[in-house]
Amino acid sequence: MGTLDVASLIDEINPPSTWPVIPQELASGLNLDADLEFDAVEADDEYAANEPADLELAKQTYDGKWRMVIPLALHTNLSRDDTQLSLDRYEFELDARLANLTRQP
């Protein structure tokens, strides 16, 4: 999935410099602003067999480069000693009411 630079996150939050750990509650208003490149659509065998048109439509619709801005719900405190925060196993809500997804040239 990717990683985030912890120092950049802390700069956005701007907590007191004496805090070695920043509570996750202070990061509640952050957004993830990312450049994405979709290069494949995957599905389990059953779905692929039953809905090939859906998969083809998704490939055609989302192929290419996109800019995505969504709320970043962190589920952990941030430590000034950390350099990277792994986003592996994070689930992002791609609800159209919350996400802004725009195609890039």
Mean pLDDT estimate for the chain:
87
The answer to whether the pTM exceeds 0.75 is no
Instruction: Give the pLDDT of residue 29.
Output: 83
Report long-range pairs for 22-26 (Cβ below 8 Å, ≥24 apart).
22/77, 22/78, 22/79, 22/80, 23/77, 24/74, 24/75, 24/76, 24/77, 24/78
Instruction: Give the pLDDT of residue 20.
Output: 94
Instruction: Give the pLDDT of residue 95.
Output: 66
Instruction: Give the pLDDT of residue 84.
Output: 92
Whether 1 has a pLDDT exceeding 60, the answer reads: no
- Per the structure, the count of domains in the chain is 1
Q: Of all residues in the chain, what percent carry a pLDDT higher than 90?
A: 45
Whether 35 has a pLDDT exceeding 60, the answer reads: yes
Which domain covers residue 35, as residue numbers?
3-103
- Among 42-46, 82-86, 96-100, the range scoring the smallest mean pLDDT is 96-100
